[in-house]
Structure 1
Amino acid sequence: MANETAKFKLNVVPGDYGLVSLDPECIQSILYTRMAKVPCDIRLSSSYRVCALFSTPSLVDGNETIRSHQDIAQHLRMKNYNVDFGLTRNQCSRTLAISSMVNEKIKPLLEFIMWIDKRNSEELIIPWHMKALCIPFNYFYTNQRKQSAENLIESIFPMEENPEVIKDYLTKAAIDGFSSLSVVLGGNEYFFEKTPTSLDILVYSYLAPFLKLPFLAVDIGNMVRNMWPSLEKFVKRIDAKYIPDIIDNPRNLVQIERNMDNGDDVSISAIIILSVSAVSLVMTFIIQKGFFRWR
């Protein structure tokens, strides 16, 4: 049910397997709004009124729509919702350095495992999204995320095509990243002792999926649990404090209710966009499979 006092609306991909969302950027935006105590109504992209935006995460503030977590966080800071308020100059510098390390060493492995590894992407990740999201947003989203992951990996390995070589390299880099995070975190509750910041949000968003998603071809989660138990405790700590309503039991591809609650109707233009997009996707599929050829 919507928050009647909400000032903002945040559109996100749904969650499962104990994750508040299966999209790391959506996880970041959800956590930011909770840590900063933003009056926000979280809306899942499993309904047409949300997915018609074709963008997640996206924050609606009146007539303005802000896309991507980075821009959302910047917009909220301008509205005086700042999770990094009070950080020293040294802490800000450390935040930039550690965030860069996470994006360079840990994010690529998660992107590879979720969207490029053949078994995980075709048997777990893509089927889940195809069922959880509504047509045609599920096609657009999965294609966009897969292409984004491929672009990222290609930028790192422009001359390498062997997926096993790439996975081995990424795994070694991620192991180094996990080890560094464990050392920096130490025995603290969060990376800057008892106050969570944007750094904690970023680390959680790329660490929690490894621990919670039932990947078929790799077992990074057990490696993290066995070698760096402090990181697992870190994830559980954030779950308990900021996502206490998270569902632990996986829906495992169970159909999500696609209702349009709170009187939000789908506009005629949105219906036209969705219909044309769906027809275009079907025609593209038919042509690619050779069922129809131009004479």
Structure 2
Amino acid sequence: MNRPMELNIWGGDWGLPSVDLHCLEVMAFAKFSGAPLQTYVTNNPFWTPKGKLPVFKHGKQVLSSFPEISAYLKKKNFNADFGLTPKQCAEVVAYTQLLKGQLYLALQYVWWVDTKNYIELIRPWYAKALPFPCNYYYPGSYEREAKKHLEALYDQDDDPQAIETFVYREAERCINTLSVRLGDEDFFFGSHPTSLDATVYAYLAPLLKAPFPSPALQNHLKSTSNLVKFVVRITQRYFPYSIQEYEAKKSAAGGARGKTTDSESDFPNRRGCQILAGLFATAAMTSYALYTGLLQVSIKDEMDENIEDHEDLIHAAEDTEE
């Protein structure tokens, strides 16, 4: 009996099957290649092997990155790039590097660094999606990780506005290049989507569909009509249920769309709950690590790590008050 291929993901919203770039990339590639992938919305990276989503499972195989998952699917004869010439395969690699180099940082900036977007949209979304007490920890953790990435690339004395301008300018150049390359075609290599289409879709779809209160980069994407049609085309053809579920949700809410609740009331902010969440998460993480044998250190090292984890969680709780 063949075991099913499973994928644990972040859930969807705004008419998308997932709000997460990495989950979308795997989901799109699986659809394009015909892989019989069963997806499960978990919204909880805590119990995953590497502390992140997506997680692909097939028998004893457990994978979490797109290169690993796509390579495995290709070995199982589910290959969205079947039929591409060596030159076209090289082009896939080149454009993928372009996306990672020029657009990924901007998406992290839009998602986690832009204060207005983070406070009014992103943090409340993850606070609702994540289970307690993880909803106290992960949004602030992702925010700090994105800021550290940015600080590693730019001098701390640089003007923040100048950094934002440069990051967005590079992203706009990337979007323009993609628009020119796509032209009037349905997909980047003709009538059938490939891994490049999966990657481009994953990068652009959340940027296009999320209701950002600070939409500068989103507005630039919307000005490239062929890329907008590209995202809509893939969603309608391969993930129609996501659109249907979103429309049904809006109808059930009485057509009240674009209603953003106050972030402070949306996101839990009682001090007692913050401390409880920090203690609970610290104990849970430590117990899980000890149980699975992940901690192979001395008792002193374990205590030091627990203190550091607890401080991270308290910082995350304090972020919610700010």
Q: Same fold (TM over 0.5)?
A: yes
Compute the displacement of 1:283 (Å): 9.5
Select which of 63, 69, 93 maps to 2:66.
69
- In the alignment, structure 2 segments of 5+ residues that lack a partner are 251-258, 267-282, 289-306
Structure 2 residue aligned with 1:150: 147
Structure 2 residue aligned with 1:239: 235
Compute the displacement of 1:143 (Å): 4.3
Contact 2:136 2:317 in 1 (8 A): no
> How far apart in 2 are the matches of 1:22 and 1:51?
18
* Structure 1 residue 52 corresponds to structure 2 residue 81: no
Residue 233 of structure 1 aligns with an amino acid whose one-letter code is: K
Compute the displacement of 1:222 (Å): 2.8
Range 61-70 or range 111-120, more displaced = 61-70
Residue 52 of structure 1 aligns with an amino acid whose one-letter code is: W
Residue 138 of structure 1 aligns with an amino acid whose one-letter code is: N
Label 1:68 to 1:283 Cα distance change in 2 as closer, same or farther (>3 A).
closer
Compute the displacement of 1:139 (Å): 4.4
Select which of 217, 220, 231 maps to 2:217.
220
Range 120-129 or range 229-238, more displaced = 120-129
Compute the displacement of 1:64 (Å): 2.7
Select which of 23, 26, 31 maps to 1:29.
26
* Structure 1 residue 114 corresponds to structure 2 residue 114: no
> How far apart in 2 are the matches of 1:174 and 1:114?
14
The aligned runs of 1:64-213 (5 Å cut-off) are 64-213=61-210
Residue by residue, what CA displacement relative to the aligned partner does 1:69-128 show, whole Å, maximum 9, x if unpaired? 222112212222111111101101111111111111111111101011111112211111
* Structure 1 residue 285 corresponds to structure 2 residue 314: yes
Residue 35 of structure 2 aligns with an amino acid whose one-letter code is: V
Residue by residue, what CA displacement relative to the aligned partner does 1:156-190 show, whole Å, maximum 9, x if unpaired? 32455433211111111111111111111011110
Residue by residue, what CA displacement relative to the aligned partner does 1:232-259 show, whole Å, maximum 9, x if unpaired? 011111111111111344777899xxxx
Label 1:158 to 1:133 Cα distance change in 2 as closer, same or farther (>3 A).
same
Q: Which structure exhibits the higher relative contact order, with contacts defined as CA atoms closer than 8 Å and separated by 6 or more residues? A: 1
Label 1:33 to 1:120 Cα distance change in 2 as closer, same or farther (>3 A).
same
Three-state SS of the structure 2 residue aligned to 1:246 is helix
Label 1:286 to 1:92 Cα distance change in 2 as closer, same or farther (>3 A).
closer
> How far apart in 2 are the matches of 1:179 and 1:103?
15
Contact 2:102 2:174 in 1 (8 A): yes
Compute the displacement of 1:274 (Å): 6.1
Structure 2 residue aligned with 1:11: 8
TM-score of the superposed pair, with normalisation by structure 2: 0.73
Residue by residue, what CA displacement relative to the aligned partner does 1:199-251 show, whole Å, maximum 9, x if unpaired? 1111111111221111112332333223x101101111111111111134477
Contact 1:59 1:72 in 2 (8 A): yes
> How far apart in 1 are the matches of 2:316 and 2:221?
45
Range 70-79 or range 175-184, more displaced = 70-79
Range 27-36 or range 246-255, more displaced = 246-255
Contact 2:11 2:17 in 1 (8 A): yes
- In the alignment, structure 1 segments of 5+ residues that lack a partner are 256-271, 290-295
Contact 1:95 1:199 in 2 (8 A): yes
Label 1:170 to 1:238 Cα distance change in 2 as closer, same or farther (>3 A).
same
Three-state SS of the structure 1 residue aligned to 2:169 is helix
Compute the displacement of 1:151 (Å): 3.8
Contact 1:10 1:42 in 2 (8 A): yes
Greater helix share, structure number = 2
Number of matched pairs: 268
RMSD over equivalenced CA pairs, Å: 3.2
> How far apart in 2 are the matches of 1:287 and 1:23?
21
Label 1:196 to 1:214 Cα distance change in 2 as closer, same or farther (>3 A).
same
Three-state SS of the structure 1 residue aligned to 2:193 is coil
Residue 163 of structure 1 aligns with an amino acid whose one-letter code is: P
> How far apart in 2 are the matches of 1:200 and 1:229?
16
Select which of 34, 38, 45 maps to 2:35.
38
